[in-house]
Amino acid sequence: MENKKSKVAIIGTGFVGASAAFALSLNQMANEVVMIDVLKEKAEGEALDINHGLSYLGQMSVYAGDYSDCADCDAIVVTAGANRKPGETRIDLAKKNVAIAKQITENIMKYYTRGVILVVSNPVDILTYKIQKWSGLPRGRVFGTGTVLDTSRFRYLLSQRLNVDIRNVHGYIIGEHGDTQLPVWSATHIAGIKISEYFDDPANGFSEEEKAAIAQDVKKAGAEIIKRKGATYYAIAVAINTILESLLKNQNTIRTVSSVINGEYGIDDVALSLPSIVNSEGVKEIINFNLTDEERSALEYSAEQLKIVLEQVKDI
């Protein structure tokens, strides 16, 4: 960490927000972490629980606060939102969480002085787009976790299939954080060796059916976890933590975060995930991959589907 003091606000102290704060404390990633929730006692309880372990971790200031504490933050993390209920459509949930996000944005901007707004709440691409517009902040100063977690799940599945250390597996999921996301197989490699060239015997390589199955497993991973334990929060907390590390340490790390796209890959006026350089200012640059025609077509379709949802919530 750089020598300057760092401050992070986390809005929403449910499973995801609390786990993210805990991960920050384990890694001593910030000097000051403020937890904000409409249920003030919940935020106070989570802060106390973390504080009681700090003697084994290191000195930090972790406390429950309010929106005025968003001033002078390096990063403001938005995790608050409603969960999808039985019988509720995707659009119903989008409308509900867009309305919540609008209130949150208005409250943040009353006290905002600097820093990045990191959107975690779902639908993350829709909320990232709307918060970017509402906030009036420069492009890239607002971005979402996007497919950072999906990318990690993709690499995990490949490492299991190939029996290779996950740290040597490189690949990306791009597009929507949702049903229309896609793996960039053309840029997937093992320690620099293209996945298509990794196998001595091509017969041992990935068939198109197996590729499709892996992509589907990535898409449904969250639902599988929710079916078994009710919610997902550990892995997304790690994803949030690694993004915040890039921000707080000004690392210029490449992550598949979601940001508003204006012209890249021929796509305009929508937020979706692409490999992007992330530093203390937010999204510094979007990397231009040489996608195949099939991948480019799938990415364009993903953008179109997100625009359909944006049209449904445009009046909120």
What are the residue numbers of the active site? 177
Backbone angles phi, psi at 34, to 5 degrees: -110, 130
- The count of residues in the chain is 316
Q: What angle do CA 65, 43, 41 make, to 5 degrees?
A: 100
Torsion of CA 35, 136, 177, 252, to 10 degrees: -80
Q: Which DSSP state fits 202?
A: G
Backbone angles phi, psi at 170, to 5 degrees: -130, 125
Number of neighbouring beta carbons within 10 Å of residue 305: 18
Beta strands in 131-241 (DSSP E): 142-144, 169-170, 173-174, 182-183, 189-190, 193-194
SS3 of residue 131 by DSSP: helix
Both tokens of 310, joined, read: 């944006």
User: What is the amino acid identity at position 73?
Assistant: C
SS3 of residue 196 by DSSP: helix
Q: Which DSSP state fits 15?
A: H
With 0-12 / 13-18 / 19 or more C-beta atoms within 10 angstroms meaning exposed / middle / buried, residue 291 is middle
| Ramachandran region, residue 140 (left: φ > 0; alpha: ψ -120 to 50; beta: rest) | left
